Amino acid sequence: MGRIRVLLVDESNDFVDGLSAWLTGQEGMGIVWMAHRRDEAIAAADRLAPDLIVLDARTPPSGGFDAARRLRERHPAAVIVITSIHVSAAARWAAVEAGADYFMEKSAVATDIDDIVRRIRGRHDKRENEERRQS
């Protein structure tokens, strides 16, 4: 099975370091880049084609929703998760409108992201099986 490539985007070094440590402890996961700003995230995604992008709703300079919109346009196959310490119906709707696949509270990311990772692994496995059949 291929490694799931993850891009983390958040101003908080503590959050990025904590989530990075948790994700790299999971089998088949690899952090490809950690960014603090939208433009860094877009440049990293363009270079590294991550499978999973986890970004903060307040990503500077114009917010995670804008970053998600731009990333979705450029990387339609990536799974995009917007995180926030404040969860509201309006924020969830803004995430959907921006093209994010998921919106979750930061305190729940480590537990909730597990299901997302399983789905990405399933997609990888399916793609690898199809490639084997075609060879």
Per cent of the chain over pLDDT 90 is 47
Encode pLDDT of 112-121 as tens digits. 888 888 888 8
* The overall pTM is greater than 0.85: yes
Task: Give SS3 for 32.
Answer: strand
Q: What is the DSSP letter of 10?
A: -
Provide mean pLDDT across the span 96-102: 94
- Contact by Cβ (8 Å): 32, 7: yes
Domain ranges of the chain: 37-49+63-109
**CATH number attached to the domain at 37-49+63-109:** 3.40.50.2300
Distance of alpha carbon 126 from alpha carbon 67, whole angstroms: 29
